[in-house]
Amino acid sequence: DAGVTQSPTHLIKTRGQQVTLRCSPKSGHDTVSWYQQALGQGPQFIFQYYEEEERQRGNFPDRFSGHQFPNYSSELNVNALLLGDSALYLCASSLQGGNTEAFFGQGTRLTVV
Protein backbone atom coordinates (compact mmCIF):
# COMPACT_ATOMS: atom_id res chain seq x y z
CA ASP A 1 0.00 0.00 0.00
CA ALA A 2 1.62 3.22 -1.17
CA GLY A 3 1.57 6.02 1.32
CA VAL A 4 1.30 9.69 0.40
CA THR A 5 3.44 10.49 -2.62
CA GLN A 6 4.52 13.94 -3.75
CA SER A 7 6.26 15.16 -6.87
CA PRO A 8 8.71 16.53 -7.63
CA THR A 9 10.99 16.04 -4.62
CA HIS A 10 13.08 19.12 -5.39
CA LEU A 11 12.50 22.17 -7.53
CA ILE A 12 14.33 25.39 -8.30
CA LYS A 13 12.38 28.34 -9.69
CA THR A 14 13.06 31.99 -10.42
CA ARG A 15 11.25 34.89 -8.77
CA GLY A 16 8.02 35.71 -10.58
CA GLN A 17 7.56 32.25 -12.03
CA GLN A 18 4.71 29.88 -11.29
CA VAL A 19 4.98 26.36 -9.85
CA THR A 20 2.70 23.33 -9.55
CA LEU A 21 3.26 20.65 -6.94
CA ARG A 22 1.45 17.32 -6.92
CA CYS A 23 0.20 14.93 -4.27
CA SER A 24 -1.37 11.48 -4.34
CA PRO A 25 -3.06 10.59 -1.05
CA LYS A 26 -2.77 7.32 0.82
CA SER A 27 -5.10 4.64 -0.52
CA GLY A 28 -8.58 5.04 0.98
CA HIS A 29 -8.09 8.67 2.01
CA ASP A 30 -10.32 11.40 0.57
CA THR A 31 -8.99 14.60 2.16
CA VAL A 32 -5.77 16.39 1.24
CA SER A 33 -4.17 19.23 3.17
CA TRP A 34 -1.15 21.28 2.15
CA TYR A 35 1.43 22.76 4.52
CA GLN A 36 4.43 25.05 4.08
CA GLN A 37 7.46 24.46 6.30
CA ALA A 38 10.16 27.13 6.33
CA LEU A 39 13.59 26.22 7.66
CA GLY A 40 13.61 25.91 11.45
CA GLN A 41 9.84 26.31 11.71
CA GLY A 42 6.89 23.97 12.09
CA PRO A 43 4.58 23.33 9.13
CA GLN A 44 2.00 26.06 8.46
CA PHE A 45 -1.44 25.09 7.13
CA ILE A 46 -2.17 26.42 3.63
CA PHE A 47 -5.51 24.81 2.73
CA GLN A 48 -7.50 21.60 2.64
CA TYR A 49 -9.45 19.88 -0.12
CA TYR A 50 -12.33 17.48 0.18
CA GLU A 51 -14.82 16.47 -2.53
CA GLU A 52 -12.86 18.60 -5.00
CA GLU A 53 -13.52 21.81 -3.04
CA GLU A 54 -11.35 23.98 -0.82
CA ARG A 55 -12.84 23.50 2.65
CA GLN A 56 -10.47 25.38 4.93
CA ARG A 57 -7.76 27.91 4.30
CA GLY A 58 -4.92 29.23 6.39
CA ASN A 59 -3.37 32.68 6.31
CA PHE A 60 -1.86 32.52 2.83
CA PRO A 61 -2.36 34.96 -0.07
CA ASP A 62 -4.38 34.23 -3.19
CA ARG A 63 -1.15 33.45 -5.03
CA PHE A 64 -1.54 30.04 -3.43
CA SER A 65 -4.28 27.99 -5.04
CA GLY A 66 -5.12 24.36 -5.37
CA HIS A 67 -7.20 21.69 -6.95
CA GLN A 68 -8.42 18.22 -6.10
CA PHE A 69 -9.24 15.67 -8.76
CA PRO A 70 -11.95 12.97 -8.72
CA ASN A 71 -9.31 10.38 -7.79
CA TYR A 72 -8.54 12.50 -4.66
CA SER A 73 -5.10 13.56 -5.86
CA SER A 74 -4.30 17.24 -5.49
CA GLU A 75 -2.18 20.06 -6.87
CA LEU A 76 -0.81 23.15 -5.19
CA ASN A 77 -0.13 26.12 -7.44
CA VAL A 78 1.89 29.15 -6.46
CA ASN A 79 1.97 32.19 -8.77
CA ALA A 80 4.39 35.11 -8.86
CA LEU A 81 6.96 33.31 -6.72
CA LEU A 82 8.81 35.28 -4.06
CA LEU A 83 12.13 34.42 -2.43
CA GLY A 84 10.15 33.89 0.81
CA ASP A 85 8.20 31.05 -0.81
CA SER A 86 11.31 28.88 -0.55
CA ALA A 87 10.30 26.07 1.80
CA LEU A 88 9.39 22.41 2.14
CA TYR A 89 5.82 21.88 0.94
CA LEU A 90 4.10 18.97 2.63
CA CYS A 91 0.93 17.20 1.63
CA ALA A 92 -1.09 15.32 4.24
CA SER A 93 -3.94 12.93 3.55
CA SER A 94 -6.68 11.76 5.87
CA LEU A 95 -10.22 10.43 5.85
CA GLN A 96 -13.05 12.90 6.37
CA GLY A 97 -15.22 11.92 9.28
CA GLY A 98 -13.94 10.20 12.37
CA ASN A 99 -10.71 10.89 14.14
CA THR A 100 -8.24 9.39 11.69
CA GLU A 101 -4.54 10.09 11.61
CA ALA A 102 -3.14 12.39 8.94
CA PHE A 103 -0.24 10.93 6.96
CA PHE A 104 2.36 13.17 5.38
CA GLY A 105 4.22 12.80 2.12
CA GLN A 106 7.98 13.29 1.99
CA GLY A 107 7.49 16.83 0.72
CA THR A 108 8.67 18.97 -2.18
CA ARG A 109 11.61 21.23 -1.44
CA LEU A 110 11.11 24.45 -3.41
CA THR A 111 13.94 26.93 -3.80
CA VAL A 112 13.18 30.34 -5.33
CA VAL A 113 16.21 32.22 -6.64
Of the listed pieces 16-24, 55-63, 71-79, which binds another protein according to CB under 8 A? 55-63
- Of 37, 14, 34, nearest to 22 by C-alpha is 34
Residue pair 70/49 in contact (Cβ under 8 Å)? The answer is: no
Q: How far is the CB of 97 from another protein (least distance, A)?
A: 9
Residue type at position 32: V
Residues that contact another protein, how many (by CB under 8 A): 25
Among 11, 13, 75, 104, binds another protein (CB under 8 A): 104
Tell whether residue 94 is a contact of another protein (CB under 8 A).
yes
Cis bond upstream, residue 61 (ω within 30): no
Tell whether residue 45 is a contact of another protein (CB under 8 A).
yes
The residue among 18 and 56 lying less far from another protein, judged by its C-beta, is: 56
Tell whether residue 59 is a contact of another protein (CB under 8 A).
no
- Reported in sequence order, the residue ranges of 31-104 that DSSP labels E, i.e. its strands, are 31-37, 44-50, 53-57, 64-68, 74-78, 87-94, 103-104
DSSP SS3 for 85: helix
Residues that bind another protein (CB under 8 A): 31, 33, 35, 40-45, 48, 50, 55-56, 58, 90, 92, 94, 96, 99, 101-102, 104-107
